[in-house]
Amino acid sequence: MPYHCVVCIKQVPDTSNVTVDAMKEDGTVNRAALPAVFNPDDLHALEAAVALRDQYDGTVTALTMGPLGAAEALRECLYRGANRAILINDRRAAGSDTLATSYILSQAIRKIGQYDLVFCGRQAIDGDTAQVGPQLAEKLGIPQVTYFERFVEVSDRTVRVRRNVGNGWEILEAKLPLLITALDTANEPRPSAARRMMQYKRARTVAEVERDVAASLPDAGAEERDIAQANVIEKLKRRGLLIEQWGIDEIDADLQWCGVAGSPTKVHRVQSIVLTKEGFKGIEPTEEGVRGLIQELIVDHTLD
């Protein structure tokens, strides 16, 4: 049976080297200060969806909300096997926290229409909250399985999924449509395929077309540019190379739930923490040692 999988992917600032200017005064991420990378867990989410499609047929749609540069991550999805790519880009979505992000993604998925599975990474390396997947499932009104490792059985509208719970695993049965958040132990993401890179390297969003046409016709008037843009867009569409680009209005999102207005979370400070030797304390593996540790944790209210 063919399955339509939607994979939510996020282009994230590379947090392996956070500098002091990584956050703006309003507590949102200063993306210009950090290089952008594909969120690592999302590669595993994408692989899980593409492998399912390869085995049972169907389609994989990659979806991201982000700046125009996030089109690069969508091209990577196409290189790695996705059939369709959609960018949600709207300056009114900027500054969204997890509530607003999951709301906007849920509206985009509603616009996509029919789907069987939604895949997310477990966590994004910038916000690090692991909230978007579960919140998205809530907003779509579908069941969720987090910490996905693999499908044990796929049978028509029911799947059995193995999830890793840290010191073991459990197998859950769920009905479709279902949202899954994937762990980095789920699979080995396939590399970009050379053939698909040749096929999709010219895939563009409308904004990229506008930028490219403006750069290639610097002296042209507005009308000439509009015609050139329309021609390029038509050509891309015909060749299946147009990365769809939607704004808040196209997905019928209510502005009060988007961007800063729809985001109750405020980040006050980001800090790069380097653990030094003093950050560690040796505990003797004896009953007395463990008792002492528990006492300390109670005193500093880590345990109540």
Ligand X SMILES: Cc1cc2nc3c(=O)[nH]c(=O)nc-3n(C[C@H](O)[C@H](O)[C@H](O)COP(=O)(O)OP(=O)(O)OC[C@H]3O[C@@H](n4cnc5c(N)ncnc54)[C@H](O)[C@@H]3O)c2cc1C
- Residues within the interface to ligand X (CB under 6 A): 8-10, 29, 39, 41-42, 45, 64-66, 96-98, 101, 105, 120-121, 123-124, 126-133, 265, 267, 270
Q: Which is nearer to ligand X, 45 or 82 (CB)?
A: 45
Q: From the centroid of its chain, how far is CA 155?
A: 27
Task: Tell me the sheet residues that pair with 119.
Answer: 7, 180
Q: Which is nearer to ligand X, 93 or 232 (CB)?
A: 93
Closest CB 133 distance from ligand X, rounded Å: 5
Closest CB 23 distance from ligand X, rounded Å: 6
Q: Which is nearer to ligand X, 85 or 209 (CB)?
A: 85
Helix (H), strand (E), coil (C) string for the chain: CCEEEEEECCEEECHHHCCHHHECCCCCECHHHCCEEECHHHHHHHHHHHHHHHHHCEEEEEEEECCHHHHHHHHHHHHCCCCEEEEECCHHHCCCCHHHHHHHHHHHHHHHCCCCEEEEECCCCCCCCCCHHHHHHHHHCCCEEEEEEEEEEEECCEEEEEEECCCCEEEEEEECCEEEEECCCCCCCCCCCHHHHHHHCCCECHHHHHHHHHHHCCCCCHHHHHHHHHHHHHHHHHCCCECEEECCCCCCCCHHHCCCCCCCCCCCCCCCCCCCHHHCCCCCCCHHHHHHHHHHHHHCCCCC
Q: Which is nearer to ligand X, 16 or 295 (CB)?
A: 16
Closest CB 227 distance from ligand X, rounded Å: 33
Closest CB 152 distance from ligand X, rounded Å: 22
Q: Which is nearer to ligand X, 132 or 232 (CB)?
A: 132
Closest CB 132 distance from ligand X, rounded Å: 3
Q: Which is nearer to ligand X, 130 or 220 (CB)?
A: 130
Closest CB 184 distance from ligand X, rounded Å: 11
Closest CB 28 distance from ligand X, rounded Å: 7
Q: Which is nearer to ligand X, 10 or 75 (CB)?
A: 10
